[in-house]
Amino acid sequence: MSLPKCKIIELPKIPDRRGNLTFIEAGRHIPFDIQRVYYLYDVPGGASRGGHAHRNLEQLIIAASGSFTVCTDNGHQKEEFYLNRSYYGLYIPTMTWREIENFSSGSVCLVLASEHYDEEDYIRDYKTFKKLAAGGDDHGAA
């Protein structure tokens, strides 16, 4: 079984002496239509965000300002990505556990999502995630 992988996507960057511009087009730069956009900011030092996976949702995570580390786990392998450039996005496929940590002061984590918010899509228990990633089901899971 081949699992989709997280990957860095380089976004278009239009340099200008007055300031650079980057844009994102669904289906062209990222492999999904954007249904929701949200961002994390004012994250206290030492705090971690994420700590879950999604059954159906795909995401692109961008360090719009500052930097942070995204720790990913597909149930079989783990990988860390350090994001610190606003023209790079980290593609997170379905069924990927993610934790975001080591936020720099003033950082902004911008997230583009393939689905509207749906609590049922979240997997918030790591043991349940591991079972599902191994091909099991979560009937009766905590």
91-117 pLDDT tens trace: 999 999 999 999 999 999 999 999 999
Entry pTM: 0.90
Catalytic residue of the set 52, 76, 116, 139: 52
* Active-site residue flag, 139: no
pLDDT in tens, 17-33: 999 999 999 888 999 99
Phi, psi of 131 (to 5 degrees): -65, -45
Cα–Cα distance between 118 and 46 in angstroms, integer? Answer: 28
Q: What is the pLDDT of residue 142?
A: 43
pLDDT in tens, 54-102: 999 999 999 999 999 999 999 999 999 999 999 999 999 999 999 999 9
101 in Cβ contact with 67 (< 8 Å)? no
The number of angstroms, rounded, from the C-alpha of 115 to the middle of its chain's C-alpha atoms is: 13
As a CATH number, domain 7-133 is: 2.60.120.10
Q: Give the tokens for residue 107.
A: 């950082």
Pair type for strands 88-92 and 59-65: antiparallel
49 in Cβ contact with 128 (< 8 Å)? no
Domain coordinates in residue numbering, the chain: 7-133
